[in-house]
Homo-oligomer: A and B are copies of this chain.
Amino acid sequence: MTRDMAFFEFLCRMGDNTLVLGHRVSEWCGHAPVLEEDIALANTALDLIGQTQMWLGLAGEVEGEGRSADDLAMLRDAWDFRNVLLAEQPNGDFGQTMMRQYLFDQAHVLLLQKLAGSSDERVAGIAAKAVKEVAYHVERSRDTVIGLGDGTSESHRRMQAALDLLWPYAGEMFTDDEVSGIMAGEGIAPEPSSLRAAWDAAVQETMSEATLVIPDSDFAHAGGKTGFRHSEHLGHMLTQMQWLQRAYPGARW
A236-253 Cβ-contact flags toward B at 8 Å (1 or 0): 101110110011010000
Query: Which B residue's beta carbon lies closest to that of A249?
Result: B249
Q: Which interface class (under 10, 10 to 19, 20 to 34, 35 or more) fits A?
A: 10 to 19
A236 vs B241: C-alpha distance in the bound complex, in angstroms?
Answer: 11
Indicate if A77 sits at the interface (CB-CB under 8 A): yes
**Oligomeric state, in number of copies?**
2
Chain A contact residues, CB within 8 Å of chain B: 77, 236, 238-240, 242-243, 246-247, 249
> 11 A-B contacts, Cβ less than 8 Å apart?
A77-B247, A236-B240, A238-B243, A239-B239, A239-B240, A239-B243, A242-B247, A243-B246, A246-B246, A246-B247, A249-B249
A239 vs B240: C-alpha distance in the bound complex, in angstroms?
Answer: 6
A243 vs B249: C-alpha distance in the bound complex, in angstroms?
Answer: 13
A95 to nearest B CB, angstroms?
24
A247 vs B247: C-alpha distance in the bound complex, in angstroms?
Answer: 8
